[in-house]
Amino acid sequence: MPTHLLNSPVSTAFSAGNGGGFPGSGGGGGGDGDSGGGGEEGERDRNREEAMLVLAEAGRSLESFPADLAVAVKAGRVPGSIVRRFFDLEESVVFRWLLKFGGFKERLLADDLFLTKLVMECVVVIFTKAAAELERRKENFSKEMDFVVANVVTGIVTGFVLVWFPAPTVSLKPPPAVSAGAIAKFFYGCPENAFQ
């Protein structure tokens, strides 16, 4: 076996249809893994090409994108499906407004049902918390309305946070500068949420 294949990042799952044989014993194959700087660089190139194709199909340019999304597209960190989802979300006035906020943009691009989940959680919290307060306070409900409102608002904030933090995200933050400190580089490498 040639020694250059021992360090190849390409797994046998991407090998040619020759039963996982060695180079030269089957057809085509998926490349040797050295072209384009390795697997990650190749993926970035594919993402960039796919995103640019979606942009061309839509007749849009990168200048019409928010700066962070444009940089991510140029760097190849965002596939064409995310660009397509951005165009779909932009069609709605509500989503277009929410896309102006970084946290919402990252979550809506990763999960187009994020806002639905967030609203459902908050509505359920409002009704269940209000019903619990009514059951507990009974005739004092209207007299203690300030406590009721405070408890319901606390429940809404808690529900919001419980949906917000574990939601999937599309990371649009740029990589840290070469001169960035160790702490900045450490936090850049941390996952965006608990499930990444």
Q: Which has more confidence, 150 or 19?
A: 150
Q: Which has more confidence, 11 or 186?
A: 186
Could you tell me if 73 and 44 are in contact, meaning their C-beta atoms sit under 8 angstroms apart? no
Q: Which two tokens stand for residue 106?
A: 């990252």
What is the mean predicted confidence (pLDDT) over 146-174?
Answer: 91
Of 166, 164, 92, 94, the C-alpha closest to 122 is 164
What is the mean predicted confidence (pLDDT) over 4-30?
Answer: 41
Residue 193: the pLDDT is 66
Does the pLDDT of residue 180 top 90, yes or no?
no
Rounded to the nearest 10 degrees, the angle between the axes of helix 39-58 and helix 80-90 is: 30
Which residues touch 138 (CB under 8 Å, ≥6 apart)? none
What is the mean predicted confidence (pLDDT) over 57-77?
Answer: 88
Does the pLDDT of residue 185 top 80, yes or no?
no
Q: Which two tokens stand for residue 54?
A: 């979606």
pLDDT tens digit string along 118-136? Answer: 999 999 999 999 999 999 9
Q: Which two tokens stand for residue 57?
A: 């199909």
Q: Alpha helix (H) ranges present in 59-174? A: 67-75, 80-90, 93-98, 102-110, 114-137, 145-164
What confidence category does residue 24 fall into, taking pLDDT thresholds of 50, 70 and 90? very low
Classify the phi-psi angles of 109: left when phi > 0, otherwise alpha if psi is within -120 to 50, otherwise beta.
Answer: alpha
Does the pLDDT of residue 101 top 50, yes or no?
yes
Could you tell me if 81 and 100 are in contact, meaning their C-beta atoms sit under 8 angstroms apart? no
Does the pLDDT of residue 29 top 60, yes or no?
no
pLDDT tens digit string along 31-45? Answer: 444 444 457 788 888
Tell me which DSSP letter residue 91 carries: T
What is the mean predicted confidence (pLDDT) over 87-103?
Answer: 92
